[in-house]
Chain A
Amino acid sequence: MADCFHVYDVRPEGFRIRYSPALVDPPGCAPRHSAPRVEKFLCRPNRLLRCARVLGRNDPLVRAVEEAFAVTTFGEHNLPERAARGEVDAFARLVQEHSGLVYRVALRILGVEEAQDASQEVWIRVWRSIGNFRGDSAFSTWLYKVTVNTCLSARRKEQGMRSGEFVGEFPQLPVQPGGEDDPEAVILNRERRDELLRALECVRADHRAALVLRHMEGLSYTEVASILEVPDGTAKGWVSRGRAALLVALAERAGDSNGSHDHGEEAS
């Protein structure tokens, strides 16, 4: 994301931010910046972040400012560098600031039962190897890499799982009735959400990681490829296959649950 935004000229009363032409807009959204331009925000980074987070935690602007200021909640700069020098206070602040990212990604790749242990393991690895972090990329990118590697090393044995196969017609999901305000629809949405997370476990681990980074974390393909340490084309392929495999798994589960529901009705 550093290619898309560049934060510079940092002063107490504000800073300048440059939008570069490399900005990739989220799919389905109209381009926000058609040409490179420079803006100046006359407010402190923390205040800007609070405003920008209304757009969502993964908004590129939020991430650009977070990365430019290393860790903003505490108003501290260069925390990774200080942690690499052995300052435990700096490391503690990094943990507090980024534990959400680590836990969120572990939760989505591994599921709720293993996410906690994996998060612990990630922070042990970060503490041991933070000296290797050279600042060439954003700290969050490096942290994503450590997190994904830790999760995938727990999942190597699953490499042979579902990919490139489905039987019969194209998979379909049942149409959900009701609007967002409908209480029944809210419950159904929660059930669909849980179903999706369970179906995600059926997708091959590396494809699942790519899918999580792209569609849940909102990263660009370049970032996904960098984190997974594969070429861009491979990252795209993994996301594409993961997406298809997830739909197949989801449709099968929906079919199964409808079937069992029908049987239940018949039995009653």
Chain B
Amino acid sequence: MIEADRWEVLERIGAYAAGELMGEEARETESLILENPEVRRLAASYISMMALLGAIGQETPEPPEAVVNRAIRRAYVSAFFRQTENLFGGVGRAYFDAFVYYLGLRGGGAADVRADQA
């Protein structure tokens, strides 16, 4: 068996052990497992590994408290800066609008009033 074929068998036995093969493909793989002791041991190894993967998957490692706290703190700081930026942005915009109005660059400003008086 050439290397590529061996890798294909390796993957196929893995799919069988994971219960992902159906119909003809599953039956062919079963007969391969029954005929070849090396492939049988491979299937047993896969099943053992999958059981271990599943067991680790059931574990629920708790994240360090620092991770949770820091993420929340950063969000609060970021929100504060966002609000500050909005506030100063708003004040700045208001001053700018007032200045534009004063110069009469927009209709109805002080310059227009003076021009009307003249």
What residues of chain A have their CB less than 8 Å away from a CB belonging to chain B? Answer: 27-28, 56-58, 86, 88, 91-92, 95-96, 99-100, 102-104, 107-108, 116, 119-120, 123-124, 127, 164-166, 169-173, 175-176, 189, 192-193, 196-197, 211, 215-218, 240-241, 243-244, 246-248, 250-251
Comparing B68-76, B87-95, B99-107, B108-116, the segment that makes contact with chain A is B68-76
In the bound complex, residues from chain A placing their C-beta under 8 Å from that of B25 are none
What residues of chain B have their CB less than 8 Å away from a CB belonging to chain A? Answer: 3, 6-7, 9-11, 14-15, 18-20, 38-39, 41-42, 44-46, 48-50, 52-58, 60-64, 66-68, 70-72, 74-76, 78-79, 82
Check B48 against A176 for contact (C-beta < 8 Å). Answer: yes
How far is the CB of B78 from the nearest CB of chain A, in Å?
A: 6
Q: Which residue of B lies closest to A254 (CB)?
A: B45
In the bound complex, residues from chain B placing their C-beta under 8 Å from that of A243 are 11, 14, 18, 46, 49
The DSSP consensus for interface residues of chain A is: helix
Q: A91-B72, A120-B70 are in contact. Are A250 and B6 (CB under 8 A)?
A: no
Please give me the 4 A-B residue pairs with the lowest Cβ-Cβ distance, nearest first: A27-B19, A103-B63, A123-B71, A216-B57
In the bound complex, residues from chain B placing their C-beta under 8 Å from that of A99 are 63, 67-68, 71
Besides A124-B74, A170-B39, A240-B11, 13 other CB < 8 A contacts?
Answer: A88-B79, A95-B68, A102-B63, A103-B62, A124-B71, A127-B78, A166-B10, A170-B10, A172-B41, A189-B52, A193-B55, A215-B57, A216-B57
A-B contact pairs, 12 of them (CB 8 A): A107-B61, A116-B67, A123-B67, A127-B71, A166-B6, A172-B45, A192-B52, A215-B54, A216-B54, A240-B11, A247-B14, A250-B49
Q: Which residue of A lies closest to B12 (CB)?
A: A240
Q: Which residue of A lies closest to B14 (CB)?
A: A243
Check A218 against B57 for contact (C-beta < 8 Å). Answer: yes
CA–CA, A240 to B10, complex, Å?
Answer: 9
Q: A102-B63, A240-B11, A250-B49 are in contact. Are A193 and B56 (CB under 8 A)?
A: yes
Q: A102-B63, A170-B41, A215-B50 are in contact. Are A56 and B78 (CB under 8 A)?
A: no
How far is the CB of A170 from the nearest CB of chain B, in Å?
A: 4
